């Protein structure tokens, strides 16, 4: 079926949780869902400017806020217990996209990229799953095409640390989690489905301006971003929103831009490694052990 990201079906009556919605792609996912009439719970690390921005553009927007730090299992548990009502769709958008060239760890001693981007959403989803009625959408990445993951040393405890490898490994973990979750949900005949989306290459520079949200980088940097083969983060949100609400989308699918880095949101193909069931099962074992969070499916 054709899909127009500018004309979304009404989401009135549905509740979405969008992590990392204070800026970037998560902000635009939340804004687009609010425009479609959804009740949107934005998680941020404390900043609530995004809610004011959405309210100024979408009169009557139904919004809530929960604080979530994915680099802390304690914060994840606190956020999960605050999110008490039924959730139609959980969108695990938040992710660490930059950092130190030296190996750092989360509050719980996990390598910071894998801990924040892969194990954090795993733990949050495990805790929320009994309250989710529709879909879980995770944020994948083309970076999985650039490095093969080594599951025997996913947190790079051995050898020389590489930040770009750490990011790619974390996103292999996200892919593995999304596809393994889909397999497990189907096997248990759950009504919940798990999908994956990636935004291509999305930058603030090309996005529709949102004061206080898209202008955090310098004007010169945003100008340079507009000259890159990328799309704005507003369009980067499109595959995520499609995976979350297209009635024809199904568990196990992966949405991304039609021209890889940019374009209309379409079905796309993941790299073979992290879509492999054996890889997914091993990631699952590692994630349960690292987070001490048994998954309910």
Ligand X SMILES: NC(=O)c1ccc[n+]([C@@H]2O[C@H](COP(=O)([O-])OP(=O)(O)OC[C@H]3O[C@@H](n4cnc5c(N)ncnc54)[C@H](OP(=O)(O)O)[C@@H]3O)[C@@H](O)[C@H]2O)c1
Residues 194-253 that bind ligand X (CB under 6 A): 198-199, 201-202, 233, 236
Q: How many residues bind ligand X (CB under 6 A)?
A: 26
The correct pick among 96, 135, 172, 242 for binding ligand X (CB under 6 A) is 96
| 139 binds ligand X per the rule CB under 6 A | yes
d(CA 6, CA 288) in angstroms, rounded, equals 39
Give 157: exposed, middle or buried? Use CB within 10 Å, 0-12, 13-18, 19+: exposed
Output 14 or 235, the one with its CB closest to ligand X.
235
Q: In this structure, what token pair is assigned to residue 14?
A: 């549905």
Q: Out of 27, 119, 161, 167, pick the active-site residue.
A: 167
The correct pick among 31, 69, 234, 246 for binding ligand X (CB under 6 A) is 69
The correct pick among 97, 133, 221, 258 for binding ligand X (CB under 6 A) is 97
Output 193 or 214, the one with its CB closest to ligand X.
214
Phi and psi, residue 202, nearest 5°: -125, 130
Provide the sign of the torsion angle of the four alpha carbons 224, 226, 227, 230, taken in this order: positive
The correct pick among 15, 53, 125, 141 for binding ligand X (CB under 6 A) is 141
The correct pick among 17, 71, 173, 262 for binding ligand X (CB under 6 A) is 71
Of 286, 287, 284, 290, residue with least CA distance to 185: 284
Q: Is 156 left (phi over 0), alpha (psi -120 to 50) or beta?
A: left
Q: Which stretch binds ligand X (CB under 6 A): 5-13, 87-95, 178-186, 271-279?
A: 87-95
161 labelled catalytic:
no
Q: Which stretch binds ligand X (CB under 6 A): 15-23, 33-41, 77-85, 218-226?
A: 15-23
3-state SS, residue 16: strand
Q: How far is the CB of 53 from ligand X (least distance, A)?
A: 13
Whether 66 contacts 41, CB under 8 Å: yes
Of 178, 214, 184, 180, residue with least CA distance to 197: 178
Percentages helix, strand, coil for the chain (3-state, rounded to 5) are 40, 15, 45
Output 37 or 104, the one with its CB closest to ligand X.
104
Phi and psi, residue 18, nearest 5°: -120, 115
Q: How far is the CB of 188 from ligand X (least distance, A)?
A: 27
Phi and psi, residue 138, nearest 5°: -110, 155
Binding mask 41-60 for ligand X (x = CB under 6 A): ---xx---------------
Whether 221 contacts 230, CB under 8 Å: no
The correct pick among 11, 14, 26, 195 for binding ligand X (CB under 6 A) is 26
Positions touching ligand X (CB under 6 A) are 20, 22-26, 44-45, 68-71, 93-97, 116, 139, 141, 198-199, 201-202, 233, 236
Catalytic residue IDs: 167
């Amino acid at each position: 079926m054709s899909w127009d990201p500018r004309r979304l079906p009404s989401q009135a009556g549905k509740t979405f949780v969008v992590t990392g919605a204070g800026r970037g792609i998560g902000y635009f996912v939340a804004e687009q869902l609010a425009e479609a009439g959804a009740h949107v719970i934005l998680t941020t690390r404390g900043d609530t400017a995004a809610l004011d921005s959405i309210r100024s553009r979408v009169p009557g927007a139904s919004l809530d806020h929960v604080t979530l730090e994915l680099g802390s299992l304690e914060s994840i548990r606190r956020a999960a217990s605050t999110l008490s009502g039924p959730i139609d769709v959980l969108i695990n958008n938040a992710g660490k996209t930059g950092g130190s060239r030296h190996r750092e760890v989360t509050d719980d001693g996990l390598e910071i990229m894998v801990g924040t981007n892969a194990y954090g959403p795993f733990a949050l989803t495990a805790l929320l799953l009994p309250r989710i009625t529709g879909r879980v959408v995770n944020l994948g990445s083309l970076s999985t095409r650039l490095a093969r993951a080594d599951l025997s040393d996913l947190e790079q405890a051995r050898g020389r640390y590489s930040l770009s490898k750490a990011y790619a490994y974390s996103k292999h973990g996200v892919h593995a989690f999304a596809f393994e979750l889909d397999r497990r949900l189907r096997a248990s005949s759950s009504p919940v489905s798990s999908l994956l989306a990636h935004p291509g290459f999305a930058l603030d520079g090309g996005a529709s301006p949102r004061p206080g949200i898209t202008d955090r980088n310098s004007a010169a940097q945003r100008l340079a971003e507009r000259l890159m083969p990328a799309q704005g983060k507003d369009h980067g949100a499109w595959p995520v929103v499609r995976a979350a609400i297209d009635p024809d989308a199904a568990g196990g699918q992966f949405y991304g831009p039609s021209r890889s880095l940019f374009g209309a949101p379409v079905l796309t193909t993941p790299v073979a490694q992290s879509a492999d069931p054996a890889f997914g099962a091993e990631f699952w074992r590692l994630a349960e052990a690292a987070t001490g969070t048994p998954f309910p499916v």
